[in-house]
Amino acid sequence: MWAIATALASHDHRILERLPDKANRLPRETSELIQHRWHFDFTVHPERIARAMDLIAFDPRDTIVSRSRREGLAAAQAYRDQFGHLDVPTGHVDPTGYTLGTFITTMGDAHTAGRLEPDWIAELDALGMIWDKHQAAWRARFTAAADYQQTHGHLAAPATTPIGAWLAEQRHLAAKNQLDATRATSLAALDPDWRLPHGVDWHRKYHLLRHHLATGHDPNALTRDTQLADVKIGSWLHRQLTTWPTLHPRQQDLLTRLGLTPDANPLARPAAPAGPSSRRSSSWSSSSTERAAPPPPGRRSPSTARASGSARGWRRPVPSTARASSSTRTGSA
């Protein structure tokens, strides 16, 4: 590399200024800059080496390419090497003073207008050029959704989370036939039920139960009182199994995959109703309780009052008309 640069210096003395001087140590800032711009690798394509040195490299058989574009490619390569992407802010200026943000914006505008040559499109694509920032933002969200699906096994993320809110927006657009067909296909490839056709609540509880059984728990050990993460999953499963004919075929298929069918799970059997003897016993117990209940404070039951009056020699008072009639009969006699 040193020999090549020395040979090139006979044509342009400024090339040597870009190389580190062996005799004099460079300032730390310059050394760090060189580390970002130089890649000493014999397997690197000569085009890459030329970009690192900000040189014009072209095939003699092709038309000469402008230096400004080559400088832009070199700066774009350095930015991508440092940050891993080309989402460059509009006003970004790199450490060498090159206005990379303006270059990226110009390339994007030229591509939109159809003025960018195919070879330049290919080179910028190789660097990860973002032609449409809206599409780039969607792809970033899609990648996050793929990570969520890989971790949880579904796309029923809570709407209170960023990924859940984004998925809810995609479902809303799909319901209005406003979601791009390619995007809908990509989401369906992640999860065929990404639109949650049976309701958000149903899918979340299903996957909660699926994860529980996947950890080795016995499905026959589930009862109506079983709870998972404060969810009454036993009662939910009981409703699914006892209303099996009313479920959608897809719901039946999902439950069958877990081995949860009316024929295979005890929860499908309805609770035994109370027998006549138990109802009579309950009614007798209730009546006995009512008969045995003490009267309210300050009042006495009739039987208690009669017993108390008999003990004291108390008799019912005779009406005055009855006393007068009795006296008349006595006098006549």
Highest mean pLDDT among 79-83, 204-208, 266-270: 204-208
Q: Which two tokens stand for residue 268?
A: 């499908």
Question: Which stretch of 20-24, 91-95, 166-170, 182-186 has the lowest confidence by average pLDDT?
Answer: 20-24
> Are the beta carbons of 86 and 129 closer than 8 angstroms?
yes
Question: Which stretch of 4-18, 86-100, 146-160, 305-319 has the lowest confidence by average pLDDT?
Answer: 305-319
* Mean pLDDT, rounded, for 188-201: 91
- Flag whether pLDDT at 10 surpasses 90: no
Confidence of residue 307 (pLDDT cuts 50, 70, 90): very low
> Are the beta carbons of 57 and 47 closer than 8 angstroms?
yes
**More confident call, 22 vs 116:** 116
What is the reported pLDDT for 139? Answer: 84
Cβ-based neighbours of 123, under 8 Å, separated by 6 or more? 73
> Are the beta carbons of 37 and 55 closer than 8 angstroms?
no
DSSP, residue by residue, 91-142: T---TTS--HHHHHHHHHHHHHHT-S-HHHHHHHHHTT--S-HHHHHHHHHH
Confidence of residue 202 (pLDDT cuts 50, 70, 90): very high
CA 128, chain centre distance (Å): 28
Record the pTM. Answer: 0.51
What is the reported pLDDT for 127? Answer: 83
Measure Cα distances from 189 to 36, 59, 154, 185, 235 in Å: 39, 43, 12, 6, 32
Q: Which two tokens stand for residue 112?
A: 């939109």
* Mean pLDDT, rounded, for 84-109: 86
What is the reported pLDDT for 38? Answer: 59
**More confident call, 110 vs 272:** 110
Measure Cα distances from 220 to 121, 126, 210, 223, 224 in Å: 60, 55, 14, 8, 11
Confidence of residue 314 (pLDDT cuts 50, 70, 90): very low
* Mean pLDDT, rounded, for 267-294: 51
**H helices, E strands: number in the chain:** 15, 0
Q: Which two tokens stand for residue 240?
A: 């699914």
* Mean pLDDT, rounded, for 56-63: 48
Phi, psi of 95, rounded to the nearest 5 degrees = -60, -20
CA 75, chain centre distance (Å): 38
- The secondary element (H helix, E strand) that includes residue 6 is helix 2-9
Cβ-based neighbours of 237, under 8 Å, separated by 6 or more? 209, 222, 260, 265, 267
**More confident call, 162 vs 136:** 162
What are the b/e assignments for 118-135, b being 16+ CB within 10 Å? Answer: eebeebbeeeebbeeeee
- Flag whether pLDDT at 16 surpasses 90: no
- Flag whether pLDDT at 319 surpasses 70: no
Highest mean pLDDT among 203-207, 300-304, 309-313: 203-207
> Are the beta carbons of 6 and 16 closer than 8 angstroms?
yes
What is the reported pLDDT for 191? Answer: 92
Q: What is the 3-state secondary structure (H, E, C) of 16-48?
A: HHHCCCCCCCCCHHHHHHHHHHCCCCCCCCHHH
Task: Give the residue carrying structure tokens 């006003």.
Answer: 91
Q: Is the dihedral of CA 68, 74, 79, 80 positive or negative?
A: positive
